[in-house]
Amino acid sequence: MIWIVFWLVIVAILWGATNPLMKKGGAGIENIHKDSTVKQFLAELQFLICNWKYLVPFVINQSGSIVFYLTLASAELSLAVPITNSLTFLVTTVTGYLMGENIGGKETILGMCLVLAGVTLCVWDKT
């Protein structure tokens, strides 16, 4: 059971830590303007694929998806989804803060503590 929780936390870290990096790496995509929907899509796709600042975090993020998929084979869905989703939120917020993003005030910190307490209770109940 502890190994399942360990791998779910790893997934949350892989997803959460890469979210702000992908956001930062994808900056500038809003400046691409083409005259048709298809050309717009292809230009944006080319921008992202050729941009290592976006592509590296994206590949790491997707490796988290692979670990999540493999972990689901032995994890209870009622445990896996709350752990990964809530901890991904926490890791995304902390990573964003470390990168200089505004994460909000005391309410955000309180919310993060409540989420962490909820995940702890969820894991505790299942063990």
What pLDDT, on the 0 to 100 scale, is given for residue 36? 93
What are the structure tokens assigned to 81, written together? Answer: 């989804």
Low-confidence ranges of the chain (pLDDT < 50): none
pLDDT of residue 123: 79
Residue from 60, 73, 77, 74 nearest 10 by CA: 60
> What pLDDT, on a 0 to 100 scale, did the predictor assign at position 17?
96
The string of pLDDT tens digits covering residues 101-124 is 888 888 888 988 998 898 888 878
- Would you state the pLDDT for residue 14? 97
Any idea what the Cα angle at residue 7 is, between residues 127 and 12, rounded to 5°? 105
pLDDT of residue 24: 94
| 3-class secondary-structure state, position 103 | coil
Q: Which tokens hold the place of 20?
A: 């702000």
* Domain region containing 45: 2-126
pLDDT confidence of residue 104 = 81
Domain count, the chain: 1
Q: Would you tell me the crossing angle of helices 52-72 and 77-98 to the nearest 10 degrees?
A: 160
